[in-house]
A = this chain, B = another copy of it.
Amino acid sequence: MSIRVAIVEDDKRISAALARLVHEAGGFRCAGTYASAETALWGIPKEPPDAVLMDINLPGMSGVDCVQRLKEILPKLEIVMLTVYEDGDQIFSALQAGASGYLLKRTPPNEILKALDDVMQGGAPMSSYIARKVVQSFQKEGPSPKESENLSKREREVLAYVAQGYLNKEIADTLAVSVETIRSQLKSIYDKLHVRSRTAAAFKYFQK
């Protein structure tokens, strides 16, 4: 008995590629493709599949909200999120909403099939980067309850310049150190704040 997989993805090319992937693989059947959360909510309950590949990034209702609703209606439905985002908050809200897996879109096709198998067997397939984030989140809430805000004096200084729009080179000049130093310190800042860009770091730290 093959696994019925529904696809919720607004990008037609990606959606078609996923449908083909599922269709041509042994042991899977494509049980519908939807280009929005709304249509998915309308169509999926009518013919419940076993699993859903869900884009997190949909026009209108978000994938996360869609997961929430679907799980209310079909608690046994296994949902694997597909996304380009690597932001911690999105990962957690998706998982809290009821998703069981979380893959980055750049995940190779065969890995996606493996993830579908995995999720049907009670697993929680995640890209390695995502997995690390999840682990980190538990490390956070356990031993060190505050951790994220303890930037060092120097790091705060650097971030302050970043917030004003300075280039790494310019910060390096004014602080009389090498650009590489600024770069490493930024890496450390991104780590601590769980972001991946200067702009996000600046706003997260100086509470927009």
**Which residues from B are CB-within-8-Å of A204?**
165
Q: Does A174 contact B (CB under 8 A)?
A: yes
**From A206, which residue of chain B is reached at the shortest CB distance?**
B208
Check A165/B197 contact, CB under 8 A, given A84-B170, A176-B10, A206-B208.
yes
Least CB separation from A176: chain B residue: B59
Alpha-carbon separation in the docked complex, A169 to B85 (Å): 10
Q: Contact partner of A173 among B57, B198, B200, CB < 8 A?
A: B57
Which residues of B lie under 8 Å from residue A162 when comparing CB positions? 199
Is the CB–CB distance between B200 and A165 below 8 Å?
Answer: yes
Q: Which residues of B contact A134 (CB under 8 A)?
A: none
* 0/1 string, A175-208, CB within 8 A of B gives 1: 0100000000000000000011111111110101
Residues of B within 8 A of A197 (CB): 165, 167
A residues at B contact (CB < 8 Å): 10-11, 57, 59, 84-85, 87, 162-165, 167, 169-170, 173-174, 176, 195-204, 206, 208
Given contacts A57-B174, A84-B169, A165-B203, list 5 more A-B pairs with CB under 8 A: A11-B173, A165-B199, A165-B204, A198-B199, A202-B203
